[in-house]
Structure 1
Amino acid sequence: MSEELIRITDSAQDYLRDLLSKQDQEGMGVRIFVERPGTPHAECCMAYCPPDEQEDGDVRYDYEGFHAWIEGKSVHYLEDAVIDYKKDSMGGQLTFRAPKSRVPDISPDASLEERINYVLYAEINPNLAAHGGSVQLLELTEDNVAVLEFGGGCQGCSVVDVTLRDGVERTLKERLPELTGVRDKTDHSVTDNAYYS
């Protein structure tokens, strides 16, 4: 693809070219993706990508002397992203700024996972925050069960079952009818910050 999605500065391109040239595999590139996209916990990641190890849906971008594969489902979270490299006394540091990586995607074709995250962070967490609590999506199973983890005041709280059943699960199922269930995977034996003990 010719048009740049991610701006990789000249210094970062030099650094990546040098890094890739030290790999003993011909045609080695990088793969760029976002872990937990559309949530406050989003993390931009980069890994080596040997030839033919990109995944279906990945998009290839060519830079001078190397190429990058962008994970298909991360593409719109990486719009306007900038990768830079600055030398310092310890050698140097690669920085990755992706302003859209933490913005929930609520477009009509957003995945169920993205829509669950949107409801959690836009509707449910602001209510839980009043009790110092929060909830996040750990995974979505193949049969559309949302596996959640509570944190803060909700972890170890004696009424978390009520919160899960009457608040979180009801809200998620009302907004997302294709969701078949909600499961809590929190370790509630930790009660240090529990709102109700």
Structure 2
Amino acid sequence: MLNVTITESAQKYLAGLLEKQNCEGIGIRMFVSDPGTPKAETCIAYSRPGEHNEEDMVVEYDAFSAYFEQRSIAFLDEAKVDFAEDKFGGQLTIRAPNSRLPNVNDDSPIEDRINYLLYNEINPGLASHGGVVSLSEMDEGFAVLEFGGGCQGCSAVSMTLKEGVEKTLMEKIPELKGVRDVTDHTDTSNAYM
């Protein structure tokens, strides 16, 4: 169930922006990138006719349609979009208190489940060495991971990848085929010594 508030002042402001686009039937699309992780960002983008996804939830406002990405709905719970006028014109603010919460279950997309494990189980262990790992992309059932911080340039990273990260992910996400590393470990500029 969608629980997002777009205040009247925000609706008026967004309607004005949409009007300037000179596009019949243009609306907005709201989604969270990297949901359930510390990097989560709540976004509002223009949505021209035909640009939204079929599974998006559509809400009709007085002046426009808003499309909410299905995958983001749980992370948009209690979100509020507001517009406050000031002497410089004003500012649109988006508050989504649940965008970073690890709101993940067995039915969540595989990317969300991998991110949840990386941020909540794997990264706390790597942090002691100043390291961090993140999901770069999914490639034919393989999680392509990117190591950063102290892990970048570290000679033990391939062991960490196979023995630690891959083992943990494969145990908890059985449909995962494996993991790959995209990080270039020849760059030792930030390596932990």
Q: Is the 1:4–1:61 contact (alpha carbons within 8 Å) kept by the matching residues of 2? A: no
Q: Is the 2:2–2:73 contact (alpha carbons within 8 Å) kept by the matching residues of 1? A: no
Q: Which amino acid aligns with 1:44?
A: T
Q: Distance in 2 between matches of 1:4 and 1:180?
A: 34
Q: Determine which of 155, 159, 162 is the counterpart of 1:165.
A: 162
Secondary structure at 1:69 match in 2: strand
Alignment of 1:85-100 (within 5 A): 85-100=83-98
Aligned position for 2:177:
180
Q: CA deviation at 1:36?
A: 1.2
Task: Select between 161-170 and 88-97 the one with higher mean Cα deviation.
Answer: 88-97
Q: Distance in 2 between matches of 1:4 and 1:66?
A: 17
The answer to whether the aligner puts 1:52 opposite 2:77 as a matched pair is: no
Scaled by the length of structure 1, what TM-score is found? Answer: 0.91
Q: CA deviation at 1:124?
A: 0.4
Q: Distance in 2 between matches of 1:148 and 1:4?
A: 32
Secondary structure at 2:190 match in 1: coil
Measured at CA, do residues 159 and 89 of structure 1 come closer, stay the same or move farther in structure 2, by a change above 3 Å?
Answer: farther
Secondary structure at 1:105 match in 2: coil
Q: CA deviation at 1:4?
A: 5.9
Q: CA deviation at 1:30?
A: 0.6
User: How many residues align structurally?
Assistant: 193
Q: Is the 2:36–2:104 contact (alpha carbons within 8 Å) kept by the matching residues of 1? A: no
Aligned position for 1:156:
153
Q: Distance in 2 between matches of 1:34 and 1:4?
A: 14
Q: CA deviation at 1:62?
A: 1.5
Q: Distance in 2 between matches of 1:148 and 1:32?
A: 27
Secondary structure at 1:68 match in 2: strand
Aligned position for 1:31:
29
Secondary structure at 1:51 match in 2: coil
Q: Is the 1:30–1:48 contact (alpha carbons within 8 Å) kept by the matching residues of 2? A: yes
Aligned position for 1:65:
63
Measured at CA, do residues 131 and 48 of structure 1 come closer, stay the same or move farther in structure 2, by a change above 3 Å?
Answer: same
Task: Select between 145-154 and 182-191 the one with higher mean Cα deviation.
Answer: 182-191
Q: Distance in 1 between matches of 2:87 and 2:123?
A: 41
Aligned position for 1:79:
77
Q: Determine which of 134, 143, 146 is the counterpart of 2:143.
A: 146
Q: Determine which of 118, 121, 127 is the counterpart of 2:119.
A: 121
Aligned position for 2:7:
9
Aligned position for 1:18:
16
Q: Which amino acid aligns with 1:34?
A: V
Q: Which amino acid aligns with 1:124?
A: I
RMSD of aligned Cα (Å): 1.6
Q: Is the 2:130–2:150 contact (alpha carbons within 8 Å) kept by the matching residues of 1? A: yes
Measured at CA, do residues 154 and 29 of structure 1 come closer, stay the same or move farther in structure 2, by a change above 3 Å?
Answer: same
Secondary structure at 1:117 match in 2: helix
The answer to whether the aligner puts 1:131 opposite 2:141 as a matched pair is: no
| Structure 1: tracts of 5 or more residues without a match | none
Aligned position for 2:100:
102
Q: Is the 1:83–1:94 contact (alpha carbons within 8 Å) kept by the matching residues of 2? A: yes
Q: Is the 1:125–1:134 contact (alpha carbons within 8 Å) kept by the matching residues of 2? A: yes
